[in-house]
Structure 1
Amino acid sequence: MSQKGFSALIVALVAVVIGWGSLYVVSERERAVQLRFGELVGPNIEPGLHFKFPFVDNIRIFDARLQHLEVPSERFLTLEQKAVIVDSYIKWRIADVASFYKATAGDLYRANTLLSQRAESRLRNKVGGLTLNEVVSGQRDSIMSDITNELDEVARKELGVTVVDVRVKRVDLPPQVSDSVFERMSSEREKEAQEFRSKGQEMAEGIQANADREQRIIQADAYKQAEIIRGNGDAKAAEVYASAYNRDSEFYAFHRSLQAYKQSFSDSGDIMLLEPNNDFFKYLNKKSGN
């Protein structure tokens, strides 16, 4: 290869390297800033294909998607000076790339640290003005909404990021406080349970007394009806006996004597000691057969 051809090849390679180093791409999920000798010249580069001066410009690309930040658990005091441990998280994304770079030098860890500090101070102020019941009650949503708005306003100005949401995952009591709270809750629940048992016992006794009274009334009424039916039956039987007796008194007396004999001599071992002329054997002693 001649000297001229070799020179042309070198020039082509340098042109390719320079051309390759002059182009860069920012995707839809990214944002970038352009630095020239450390000075910010491109504050907010949108997604797409862009040009830069090779070896002069430096491109810093950042993730523009929603970021999740777990805020470390913190111990706060409520309005009644009761300690609570709050566990929370923050959802945020970059809003102004230039402001974000100036505030954090593009360091995501530093951005999370600064956001955590600001969120912690606002949570402390908010919790300090509320009672324990308000902190753990349904008012938590409105509290979190206020904190989100306040933190978003500060974060936009100071860090160039927008805070989408701040949420409390859990509110716990310190271990030394939890035991006493649980004991108090247990005693309160035991007291309520005892009240329910007492009321239930009182109701049970009332129901039992009513049932006993109704039972006695039903039994008395049934006994009354049974006596009436029995009396009516006895009267009817007496009427039948009287009618039978009036039709043929001699036959009636004979039939009654036969029934008495049958009942008296039902067992072969039965013995009766009576005088022979006793009226019981009146019909047995008659020879006429009438």
Structure 2
Amino acid sequence: MRKSIVFILVLVLMALYASMFVVQEGQRGIVMRFGKVLRDDENKPVIYVPGLQFKVPFIDTVKMLDARIQTMENQADRFITSEQKDLIVDSYIKWRISDFSRYYLATGGGDISQAEVLLKRKFSDRLRSEIGRLDVRGIVTDSRGRLMLDVRDALNTGTGETTEADSAIASAAARVEQETKGAQPHINPNSMAALGIEVIDVRIKQINLPTEVSDAIFARMRAEREAVARRHRSQGQEQAEKLKAAADYLVTRTLAEAEREALIMRGEGDAEAARLFANAFSEDPNFYAFIRSLRAYEASFNDNQDVMVLSPDSDFFRYMRSPATSLAR
């Protein structure tokens, strides 16, 4: 009897332990019973919030889904504007699960990679359509914020046009309708809401030109800058030549004026010297003749090799004779 009570108590404890589960913060729990999502009396899926929860042991299974905002980085892709110009756009998406039951059924058991594949294809198609309506200036300036809002709203509410990505989302939505037997509210099958996903934000991180286009633009910019540099250099050279010519003219004029002043002053000095000499020599002509002869001797006998052929009685040598005779003559 005692062993039976212990055995029953162990079974109860095991059942109690198997019925308990903990939902961590940032997660939500969805219970599957016999492979179907557990629903309440109003046919709404039962979603378990963080904390200690209970389920029917050995019958129910719990699938944990991440309730936090997810960030999906998109690989840079090429888009064409309304001007038929290529742009390389790098972007990312912020999203979260809005309907855990629909998300679980649409993604084949809550597979986040499958959800992101469908979201990425839908986003790429929508962004390509929006960029195709704008020019480059509108994308990178005023219309950029509005562009992101339009893309986000189109992802959440859907569009009238149907693409390959929309067909895949519609197929997942049809699978949800089949699983729930049409008990879900009607949702646009071309929207991400059909997957139980809400897009929080869409952002463009970077917009670049393709390599071949940017190289051509850089080459053109370089040529334009070089042309401007050449123009500035030629203008600078022209100004330099003008300044040099003006400086040369000023130097020449200054030198000419200085030379003219020097000649005038030299002439005036020579005239004054001649006047003084004339006044001085007029008082004693013999002394003047003597001085002139001395200067002639000084100019004539510069070298011992100099030879002069003159008569000894020449008047040139008169002051080399006796002073009395020279002065008497």
Computed over aligned residues only, the root mean square deviation of the Cα atoms, in angstroms, reads 3.5
SS at match of 1:100: helix
Q: Distance in 1 between matches of 2:11 and 2:301?
A: 147
Task: Decide whether the 8 Å contact of 1:152 with 1:163 is kept in 2.
Answer: no
Task: Decide whether the 8 Å contact of 1:70 with 1:89 is kept in 2.
Answer: yes
SS at match of 2:56: coil
Matched, 1:128 2:132: yes
SS at match of 1:93: strand
The one-letter code of the counterpart of 2:202 is: D
Quickly say closer, same or farther: Cα 1:271–1:97, change in 2 above 3 A: farther
The one-letter code of the counterpart of 1:224 is: E
Q: Distance in 2 between matches of 1:160 and 1:120?
A: 16
Q: Distance in 1 between matches of 2:95 and 2:151?
A: 13
Q: Which runs of 5+ in 1 are unaligned?
A: none
Which residue does 1:204 correspond to in 2? 237
Q: Which runs of 5+ in 2 are unaligned?
A: 40-44, 159-190
Q: Distance in 1 between matches of 2:144 and 2:157?
A: 19
- How big is the shift at 1:273? 3.9
The one-letter code of the counterpart of 1:39 is: V
Which residue does 1:50 correspond to in 2? 53
The one-letter code of the counterpart of 1:19 is: L
For structure 1, which segment, 145-154 or 14-23, has the greater mean C-alpha deviation from structure 2 after superposition?
A: 145-154
For structure 1, which segment, 52-61 or 95-104, has the greater mean C-alpha deviation from structure 2 after superposition?
A: 95-104
**What TM-score does the superposition give when structure 1 sets the normalisation length?**
0.77
Q: Distance in 1 between matches of 2:4 and 2:310?
A: 166
State the number of aligned residues. Answer: 282
Q: Distance in 2 between matches of 1:100 and 1:225?
A: 102
Compare the two structures and name the one with the higher strand fraction: 1
- How big is the shift at 1:200? 3.0
1:111-154 deviations in Å (ceiling 9; x for gaps): 1022112211211111111234544x335742334423443555
Quickly say closer, same or farther: Cα 1:58–1:257, change in 2 above 3 A: farther
For structure 1, which segment, 118-127 or 91-100, has the greater mean C-alpha deviation from structure 2 after superposition?
A: 91-100
Quickly say closer, same or farther: Cα 1:67–1:145, change in 2 above 3 A: same
**What TM-score does the superposition give when structure 2 sets the normalisation length?**
0.69
Matched, 1:92 2:128: no
Matched, 1:262 2:259: no
Q: Distance in 2 between matches of 1:100 and 1:279?
A: 142
Quickly say closer, same or farther: Cα 1:282–1:64, change in 2 above 3 A: farther
Quickly say closer, same or farther: Cα 1:248–1:73, change in 2 above 3 A: closer
